[in-house]
Amino acid sequence: MPGILYIVPTPVGNLDDMTLRAIQTLKDADLILAEDTRTSGILLRHFGITGKLQSHHKFNEHQTVEIIKQRILGGLNVALISDAGTPGISDPGFLLARTCAEEGIEVQTLPGATACIPAIVSSGLPCDRFCFEGFLPVKKGRQTLLGELASETRTMVFYESPYRLVKTLEQFIEHFGPDRRCSVAREISKIHEEHRRGSLSEVAAWFREHEPKGEIVIVVEGAPKKKK
């Protein structure tokens, strides 16, 4: 009888955000796939989970996905985790989930931590409808995509590196206008969590003077809807 692929979210900051079900699922799994075994090893040891850890990341997933699929078909229950948050959301996981689903393998994704939802809910911007863009292309296609998003009426959510934050905000000003409202969430669920809200020009000015650090989520107001 085939096993099950469990996709297990892990905390983006505070380890207490780990759910009881996630801990038990990892303890029961025959194999745990981790984006970085060193990072995940710290988390697993914290909850008394040892052994059965294997590397699975964007650089090797195309080579290992078929092997993992066959092991699940052979009866192993496999859990997939990333360094932080929910696998598949700007992290490895999509390819394995799709491969298993196409094979008829049961794929169970546990609810749990992700950075984008706390960021948009805390932003004060409309969150009844939004679009998640993740990380923008670093070079090729970046300007084209920003031009397309200039007319997006839904609230937009982006992930960004602290090293590129100011440049990205300046590009948002160029394409969306300086007065578009935004919120930059930093270090969600960690000791130094911060939410900086205001217009794009105000928030960009703040981070020009205050060097950003840590994990960044940018939430940007959508374009005004055109009157009929």
Q: What is the pLDDT of residues 19-44, one digit of tens each?
A: 999 999 999 999 999 988 899 999 99
Burial code of 125-138, b = ≥16 C-beta within 10 A, e = fewer? bebeebebbeebee
Residues 6+ apart with CB under 8 A from 189: 11, 12, 13, 14, 17, 113, 118
What percentage of the chain carries pLDDT values higher than 90?
A: 85
What are the tokens at 33?
Answer: 């796939």
CATH number attached to the domain at 4-109: 3.40.1010.10
- Determine the 3-state secondary structure of 216 from DSSP: strand
pTM over 0.75: yes
Tens digit of each residue's pLDDT (9 = 90 or more) over 45-62? 999 998 789 988 878 888
pLDDT given for residue 227 in this prediction: 66
- Each domain of the chain, given as residue ranges in start order, spans 4-109, 116-220
Per-residue pLDDT band at 129 (split at 50, 70, 90): very high
Q: Compute the distance between CA of residue 21 and CA of residue 42 in angstroms, rounded to an integer.
A: 19
In residues, how long is the chain?
A: 228
CATH class, 116-220 region: alpha beta
Residue 3, Ramachandran bin (φ over 0: left; ψ between -120 and 50: alpha; else beta):
beta
Pairing of strands 106-109, 181-186: unpaired
Tens digit of each residue's pLDDT (9 = 90 or more) over 92-118? 889 999 999 999 999 999 999 899 999
With contact defined as beta carbons under 8 Å apart, do 172 and 220 qualify? Answer: yes
Residue 201, classified by CB atoms within 10 Å of its CB into exposed (0-12), middle (13-18) or buried (19+), is middle
Per-residue pLDDT band at 63 (split at 50, 70, 90): confident
Are both 4-109 and 116-220 of the same fold?
no
With contact defined as beta carbons under 8 Å apart, do 141 and 175 qualify? Answer: no
Going across the sheet that includes 130-135, the strands are 130-135, 155-160, 216-220, 181-186, 194-199
With contact defined as beta carbons under 8 Å apart, do 129 and 155 qualify? Answer: yes
Angle at 81 between CA 130 and CA 108, to 5 degrees: 70
